[in-house]
Structure 1
Amino acid sequence: MKLKELPGSLWTAWKLKRLPKKQLVSPQQPRIPVIVSLTSIPSRLDTLHLVIRSLLAQTHLAEKILLWLHKDLESKIPSSLTMLVSDIFEIHYVDMTCSHRKLVHSLTLYPEKIIVTCDDDLMYNPSWLQRLYKDHLIYPDRIIAHECRMIAYNNQGALLNYDQWKTQIEPGVSSPWMMPIGYGGVLYPPGVLHPDVTRADLYLALAPRADDLWFKAMSYLNGTITQRSQQPGQKPTPIAGSQKVSLKHTNVRENGNYEQWQAICDHYQIQGR
């Protein structure tokens, strides 16, 4: 977290903490026919309620919010989180520990539903979900994401380092080579991913620390286009103290994303542009 983000983070957290549960899940809230799905790790349990509160405080509420945790955490959930459990927000416990569980379990449980993934260390703007869904209604067969990068190759078709995959600034752009970035939120319509998406033996071997890359490969193999939303809005607000443990170090700074994408491409014989 950048120092300049701290005041906004503390202010947003303070506002969310003040919202009573009755107000967070109101019968008057408009509903959107999607499942919001996420996962988390032990070091973020104490701040995770802020993420869930931001998802419950949306202008348009999801049908369900599913949190996937390792079964060892079942007795360690803080009351700040359990008090939010309802017919909307559910906590599920599984054996898996990798970040891919944010999507794969929900795909299995709700194969015919639209699933939106998000991260566990951010607070989301109240219109976040509605803006994703609005674009889905226009482009129902595409994956919609607020934040994206373009996978980059040189003129000879060789993969470039991850730091050369340009962040997409222009709203509404689309490409088969566009990679959704999970922290901004990603909407997956049913049937847009290759059947291998839930094969743990493959994603743990090829991309064990890069769920974004795995899901991108599964959409590419299925011929699905990714589109940046037409109204990305402001970036989600980081939660103070929640990002001490992160995959960013190995995946970005140590070029782990390059290595894992190359492994996926080698396995599936995906050719560069």
Structure 2
Amino acid sequence: MWISYVLGQVVSFFFTLFRMIPLAWNNRVSRTRFPQEGDVVISLTSHGERLTRVHYTLESIVRGNIKAPVVLWLDRKDYDAEWPKTLRRLVGRGLQVRCSDGLYGPHTKYWGQFRELAGTGKRVATIDDDMIYPEWFLERLLFIGDLRSDVVIAYRAHRIELRDDKLLPYVKWTAADTCRASYLHFATGVSGVLYPASFIDYVVGQGDVFQELTPRADDVWLHACALRSGHRVRQVYSHPRNFAVVPSTQSGALVIGNTLMGGNDEQIQRVYSAEDVAKLVAASRSED
């Protein structure tokens, strides 16, 4: 079995490299521009060495069937450093780069953008800096978002599992297997998430308490906010979609710490109140 797994990883690696070639070429010659205005803004963050490869993600976004303004948020250290040529080319084509006003870790991906757009009625789609997104990425998020302004929409979600009216450990949560909106669905940001304006307003109203509660788990905080504000999570398809990962970008430290070493569980215990758990239990009973 391990041989087939290794072969699968090798094939996936070379398939991704094949996808990266036109993106690298586009970065050198394309004149396609990022729009500066729109009713939805795409937001992401990056840092350090990853900035030398974030252009693959950004080029995959700007080639999309539907285009939107894109804002890259950087901490002060990276903002003041010299940016790679690949990134400067994108800035010349309309990519917006902003400096975060604090060290928010993974929350940098959305926090500055949420605060900027709160009260405007605009939506935010968040993406990761190490993925290659398909041309229809934003198009299909907006198709559902235009129909349902009361849900958080994700390409990839877990189902929160309970036993005896208690949350099971994060590693025992399962992949969502329906596109029905549910409080039990837990959006994971890696494949992209679209947040409605009403949700953005709620999150901003909670302030930056996440720095104490979930400093390394933005997904946990955002789900708790969705639960409390009455925004169910809807998966785009009945099964999660995993997009191609840019090689050499994932150090794995956050994933290992949050998932395998129980970091998510520690932060979940700090965030979810008895009332939150009761709401999840009620959702589970109504759906079973």
TM-score of the superposed pair, with normalisation by structure 2: 0.85
> Residues 212-227 of structure 1 correspond to what in structure 2 (within 5 A)?
212-227=219-234
> Residues 176-191 of structure 1 correspond to what in structure 2 (within 5 A)?
176-191=183-198
Which residue does the alignment assign to 1:76? 82
> Residues 1-273 of structure 1 correspond to what in structure 2 (within 5 A)?
2-19=9-26, 20=28, 22-25=30-33, 33-62=39-68, 64-73=69-78, 74-86=80-92, 88-94=94-100, 95-111=102-118, 112=120, 113-154=122-163, 156-170=164-178, 172-193=179-200, 194-195=202-203, 199-200=207-208, 202-230=209-237, 234-266=241-273, 269-272=275-278, 273=281
Q: Indicate the SS of the match to 1:243.
A: coil
Counterparts of 1:88 and 1:108, CA distance in 2:
21
Contact 2:191 2:241 in 1 (8 A): no
Counterparts of 1:26 and 1:260, CA distance in 2:
36
Aligned residues: 265
Deviations 1:152-190 (A, max 9, x none): 211x211101121111133x2210121111011100010
Contact 1:51 1:122 in 2 (8 A): yes
Deviations 1:36-87 (A, max 9, x none): 000112131111111111111111101x101110111122311111110147
Q: 1:230 to 1:91 in 2, by over 3 A?
A: same
Q: 1:8 to 1:223 in 2, by over 3 A?
A: same
Which consecutive residues of structure 1, in runs of 5 or more, have no partner in the other structure? Answer: none
Contact 1:141 1:224 in 2 (8 A): yes
Contact 2:217 2:264 in 1 (8 A): yes
Which residue does the alignment assign to 2:286? none
Q: 1:103 to 1:197 in 2, by over 3 A?
A: farther
How much has 1:22 moved relative to structure 2?
Answer: 3.9
Q: 1:8 to 1:198 in 2, by over 3 A?
A: farther
Counterparts of 2:48 and 2:112, CA distance in 1:
19
How much has 1:21 moved relative to structure 2?
Answer: 5.3
Residue 207 of structure 2 aligns to which amino acid in structure 1?
A: R
Counterparts of 1:71 and 1:114, CA distance in 2:
25
Residue 135 of structure 1 aligns to which amino acid in structure 2?
A: I
Q: 1:107 to 1:97 in 2, by over 3 A?
A: closer
Contact 1:66 1:90 in 2 (8 A): yes
- Is the radius of gyration larger for structure 1 or structure 2? 2
How much has 1:219 moved relative to structure 2?
Answer: 1.1
How much has 1:141 moved relative to structure 2?
Answer: 1.6
Counterparts of 2:206 and 2:48, CA distance in 1:
24
Q: 1:146 to 1:223 in 2, by over 3 A?
A: same
Contact 2:176 2:239 in 1 (8 A): no
Counterparts of 2:48 and 2:106, CA distance in 1:
13
TM-score of the superposed pair, with normalisation by structure 1: 0.89
Which consecutive residues of structure 2, in runs of 5 or more, have no partner in the other structure? Answer: 1-7, 282-288
Q: Indicate the SS of the match to 1:179.
A: strand
Q: Indicate the SS of the match to 2:39.
A: strand
Counterparts of 1:86 and 1:232, CA distance in 2:
38
Contact 1:196 1:218 in 2 (8 A): no
Q: Indicate the SS of the match to 1:270.
A: helix
